[in-house]
């Protein structure tokens, strides 16, 4: 609320300290660090799972706790039946890179 009310600017160190961001990179390596993170998400995380998590994060502020829990539980049931869940288990057990399809 303080940042909204005051419109004050914060530097990277303060943004990290107050939890506005969870990482700070030096300017010289910023692009490389962000690109590495994006590549990791694209190669190691199921696109289906990311979509579900994004939807839940965007919807939950507009839901009661019980509504959010109902939605999350329904998503979990569907996720456990998904191809990407099976692939996630298989790639972990077989110690190989994942081949997620988003299904």
What does the pLDDT read at residue 94? 96
Share the mean pLDDT of the chain: 94
Residues 100, 44: Cα–Cα separation, whole Å: 8
Helix (H, G, I), strand (E, B) or coil at 98: coil
Stated pTM of the model: 0.72
Of 53, 82, 56, 55, nearest in space to 69 by CA: 56
Quick: pLDDT tens for 5-59.
999 999 999 999 999 999 999 999 999 999 999 999 998 999 999 999 999 999 9
Residues 66 and 102 in one domain: yes
Based on the domain organization, do 53 and 25 belong to the same domain?
A: no
Q: How far apart are the first and last CA of the chain?
A: 39
What is the tally of structural domains in the chain? 2
Domain that includes residue 25, residue range: 1-44
SS3 of residue 14 by DSSP: helix
Q: 66 and 103: one domain?
A: yes
The DSSP code for 28 is G
- Six-digit token string for 81: 């039946």
Q: How confident is the model at residue 87 (pLDDT cuts 50, 70, 90)?
A: very high
The verdict on 30 and 73 lying in the same domain is no
């Amino acid at each position: 609320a303080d940042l909204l009310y005051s419109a004050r600017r914060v530097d990277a160190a303060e943004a990290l300290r107050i939890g506005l961001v969870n990482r700070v990179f030096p300017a010289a390596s910023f692009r490389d660090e962000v690109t590495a993170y994006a590549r990791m998400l694209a190669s190691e995380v199921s696109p289906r799972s990311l979509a579900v998590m994004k939807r839940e994060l965007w919807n939950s502020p507009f839901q009661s706790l019980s509504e959010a829990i109902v939605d999350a539980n329904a998503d979990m049931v569907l996720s456990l039946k998904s191809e990407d869940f099976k692939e996630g288990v298989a790639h972990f057990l077989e110690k190989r890179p994942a081949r997620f399809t988003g299904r």
